[in-house]
Chain A
């Protein structure tokens, strides 16, 4: 069993500016969830906001925080989209 897996992380819009990076590689324990990954990133980039108000995506699909991540996955952390008044 691997001691860590590597995932690719992408930040967008305000989260990209707050993190100060667009992409990075994260090493996390096997069987980690999307929430675990985000918490690890917040420990590294203290200006990232709390999880509520952030959405996660795994391999270009919206994903719940409890979703497990795998070696080589692309994780993205996404602020609410622009929306707009009807």
Chain B
């Protein structure tokens, strides 16, 4: 189990290696990538901000929830903070399980929970301005 909030680039292979073991026949990895468009606008870059002292324990809690549902799962999660360029990896959830069905399910469940309960925020720098992205809402900076 490994949970990181980091300003350094995320090494996806390293997280996969952290969950691999001889009894795991499947590793499923979700990587979130900075996209060049949002809301129909060109995006130039993102800034992520975290409440790191809370984000890491929240990730650990999600890892435990995964293990409650899929007891054989091993989990690693990382989220990047700071300035990210288009194409960079912002978030990774890697899960190993004995078989692929539960690996896919547990990984999907993990990234969905992370997106709703880990205190990390995205500021989007786009052609039409700079916005905080809060769930479905894009709120212009300063308002």
Is the C-beta of B87 less than 8 angstroms from some C-beta in chain A?
A: no
Which residues of B have CB within 8 Å of A10?
51
- Tell me the chain B residues, 59-96 only, with Cβ under 8 Å from chain A: none
Interface code A28-59, partner B: CB below 8 Å = 1, 0 otherwise?
A: 00000000000000000000000001000100
Complex CA gap A57/B118 in Å reads 12
Is the C-beta of A66 less than 8 angstroms from some C-beta in chain B?
A: no
Is the C-beta of B100 less than 8 angstroms from some C-beta in chain A?
A: no
**Cβ B51 vs Cβ A17 within 8 A:** no
The one of B118, B139, B141, B142 in contact with A81, judged by C-beta atoms closer than 8 angstroms, is B118
Q: In whole Å, how far is B72's beta carbon from the nearest beta carbon of chain A?
A: 25
Q: In whole Å, how far is A82's beta carbon from the nearest beta carbon of chain B?
A: 4
Cross-chain pair count, CB within 8 angstroms: 65
Is the C-beta of B115 less than 8 angstroms from some C-beta in chain A?
A: yes
Which residues of A have CB within 8 Å of B141?
14, 17
Complex CA gap A8/B3 in Å reads 26
The one of B51, B112, B133 in contact with A82, judged by C-beta atoms closer than 8 angstroms, is B133
Interface code B94-133, partner A: CB below 8 Å = 1, 0 otherwise?
A: 0000000000000000001001111111110000000011
Complex CA gap A43/B119 in Å reads 25
Which residues of A have CB within 8 Å of B123?
13
Given A13-B49, A76-B119; 16 other pairs, CB 8 A cutoff: A10-B51, A12-B51, A13-B121, A13-B132, A14-B132, A16-B49, A17-B141, A60-B51, A60-B57, A79-B121, A80-B137, A81-B119, A82-B48, A82-B121, A83-B116, A83-B133
* Cross-chain pairs A/B with CB under 8 angstroms, 22 sampled: A10-B51, A12-B49, A12-B121, A13-B121, A13-B123, A13-B132, A57-B54, A57-B119, A60-B54, A61-B54, A62-B117, A76-B119, A79-B134, A80-B134, A81-B115, A81-B117, A81-B118, A82-B121, A82-B133, A83-B116, A84-B32, A84-B133
